[in-house]
Amino acid sequence: MSTAPAAAAAFVASGVPAVLEELRSLFGDRLSTSAAVRRHHGEDATHHIAAPPDAVVFVTSTEEVQAVVRACVRHRVPVIPFGTGTSLEGHISAPFGGVCIDLGRMNEVLAVSAEDLDCRVQAGVTRKQLNDYIRSEGLFFPVDPGADASLGGMAATGASGTNAVRYRTMRENVLGLTVVLADGRVIRTGTRARKSSAGYDLTRLFVGSEGTLGVITEVQLRLQGHPEAIAAAVCSFETLRGAVETTILTLQMGIPVARIELLDELQVEAVNRHSRLDYPLKPTLFFEFHGSQSSVEEQAKAVGELAADNGGSGFQWAARPEDRTRLWEARHEAFWAAKELRPGCMAITTDVCVPISRLADCVLETRADIDAEGFTAPILGHVGDGNFHVVLLIDPGSADEISRAEALNQRLVERAIGMGGTCTGEHGIGAGKIDFLELEAGDAIATMVAIKRALDPSGLLNPGKVLRDSSPAG
């Protein structure tokens, strides 16, 4: 799962020198070919094989992106869009070389409408930057994948995260996009209307396309008004099943919980150590409730009763903003906390999503599988959506561990798909899950390939990602 496509070797981006000469005249020192910059842009925090691009260009406008794409396509050189580099499936590696477009300097909030609860941002604006910007207007942007990712990158990868159980994912929160296409044209998709049935839904096609169909340069987003009241709580359970069952019942009762996050015993241990907390070493749920004061109380009471019925105890409330911040920072640090459980390890992070009714089975079978293999591997997840992760802590020098971890991931994906679920709830396909997408999508892969070829006939946009047949055309 971590190998670059075999075709990589067959393609040589021989136009690189010519393209770099052209781009250098346009971008000056905003074009970098330094080894450190290139390495940083081709490498993510995971086990996926890093492959640096030939150069990185730091753009400041849609027109500049257009110029880069045009030059690269003319010289048959791959283009790899880059936001913050926090994706997790090898999305940013450059197995065929090429030019990385770093959109981080396109970080302007272009428009905010409190009346319409929407905004338009350049692709490099990060979610925290946006939330800081709009807080004083009583607004927030709910999609929260943990990392302070760029909104363009979050759109491109179809990100979601802790709040998705209530506020849904990027798919439902992006109203429209500006996209630079492989042929150098710039299009705007969507409108500011809350709904539309005008033609094919190009917005949703580009959301989650991972830079393989075009480069997203601007994003129109729905915003939310700050709820009147917010309360968070932590609850420990005697068993993993009890925590998962509480989640299932919460969803089935239609309680509009804003966040419901699972940490297994091992993840709690990691979080306690990393964030200096002292939660009981038991399977644990983190909750957050949004609404009017009375609605929040009603929700919390209902969930508290469900938890008590399922072996939950020791509800700890975090009503003060600073306590909530501490709680969610701990959750967001969970990946780094997990890595500290085994110093020097490499983390293989999995990501599946199943129908809620199958969540308990899927989590428990996976826990048993991990234990049978003897891995140190916490389970955590956005269980309100049926979405969870395993962080497999592997000795990077052990071929045996790596191959057993990959086999475990394969079994996990097959288990999830067999239960009517998906091979990735939120991390996307990147380079890491191409085989699994084929397993899940079946004949629909050919439809994806047809769309890819129609919009990127030379196969130069983020090649080697999402689809097997996406290497640059010979």
Rank residues 298 and 395 by Cβ distance to a copy of itself and give the closer one: 298
Provide the edge-to-edge strand list for the sheet that holds 174-180.
109-113, 118-122, 215-222, 174-180, 186-190
Rank residues 25 and 197 by Cβ distance to a copy of itself and give the closer one: 197
Please state whether 408 falls in left (phi above 0), alpha (psi between -120 and 50) or beta. alpha
Rank residues 398 and 447 by Cβ distance to a copy of itself and give the closer one: 447
Segment contacting a copy of itself by CB under 8 A, of 109-117, 234-242, 271-279, 336-344: 109-117
Question: Considering the complex, what minimum distance in angstroms separates the CB of residue 423 from a copy of itself?
Answer: 5
Binding flag, residue 257, a copy of itself (CB under 8 A) = no
Site string for a copy of itself, 30-59 (x = CB under 8 A): ------------------------------
Rank residues 212 and 284 by Cβ distance to a copy of itself and give the closer one: 212
Question: Considering the complex, what minimum distance in angstroms separates the CB of residue 296 from a copy of itself?
Answer: 11
Question: Considering the complex, what minimum distance in angstroms separates the CB of residue 138 from a copy of itself?
Answer: 10
Q: Which of residues 56-95 bind a copy of itself (CB under 8 A)?
A: none
**Binding residue for a copy of itself, selected from 146, 421, 432, 463, defined by CB under 8 A:** 421
Q: Which of residues 169-208 bind a copy of itself (CB under 8 A)?
A: 169, 171-172, 181, 185-189, 191-202, 204-205, 207-208
Segment contacting a copy of itself by CB under 8 A, of 73-81, 312-320, 329-337, 433-441: 433-441
Q: How many CA atoms lie within 13 A of 48 on its CB side?
A: 31
Q: Which of residues 319-378 bind a copy of itself (CB under 8 A)?
A: 353-357
Rank residues 31 and 182 by Cβ distance to a copy of itself and give the closer one: 182
Give the residues across from 349 on adjacent strands: 391
Rank residues 53 and 83 by Cβ distance to a copy of itself and give the closer one: 83
Q: Which of residues 438-467 bind a copy of itself (CB under 8 A)?
A: 440-448, 450-455, 466-467
Rank residues 255 and 266 by Cβ distance to a copy of itself and give the closer one: 255
Question: Considering the complex, what minimum distance in angstroms separates the CB of residue 211 from a copy of itself?
Answer: 12
Give the residues across from 390 on adjacent strands: 379
Question: Considering the complex, what minimum distance in angstroms separates the CB of residue 27 from a copy of itself?
Answer: 25
Rank residues 269 and 298 by Cβ distance to a copy of itself and give the closer one: 298
Binding flag, residue 110, a copy of itself (CB under 8 A) = no
Q: CB–CB of 283/396 below 8 Å?
A: no
**Binding residue for a copy of itself, selected from 310, 385, 409, 462, defined by CB under 8 A:** 385
Q: Which of residues 111-130 bind a copy of itself (CB under 8 A)?
A: 113-118
Q: CB–CB of 208/156 below 8 Å?
A: yes
Rank residues 10 and 444 by Cβ distance to a copy of itself and give the closer one: 444
Site string for a copy of itself, 214-233 (x = CB under 8 A): ----------xx-x------
Query: What distance in Å separates the CA atoms of residue 358 and residue 355, rounded to the nearest whole number?
Result: 6
Query: What distance in Å separates the CA atoms of residue 40 and residue 30, rounded to the nearest whole number?
Result: 15
**Binding residue for a copy of itself, selected from 46, 84, 126, 160, defined by CB under 8 A:** 160
Question: Considering the complex, what minimum distance in angstroms separates the CB of residue 295 from a copy of itself?
Answer: 6
Question: Considering the complex, what minimum distance in angstroms separates the CB of residue 386 from a copy of itself?
Answer: 6
**How is residue 422 written in tokens?**
């998906």
Question: Considering the complex, what minimum distance in angstroms separates the CB of residue 158 from a copy of itself?
Answer: 4
**How is residue 247 written in tokens?**
């989640």
Give the residues across from 461 on adjacent strands: 79
Q: Which of residues 236-255 bind a copy of itself (CB under 8 A)?
A: 248, 251-254
Tell me how many residues contact a copy of itself (CB under 8 A).
91
**Binding residue for a copy of itself, selected from 164, 240, 262, 394, defined by CB under 8 A:** 164
Binding flag, residue 278, a copy of itself (CB under 8 A) = no
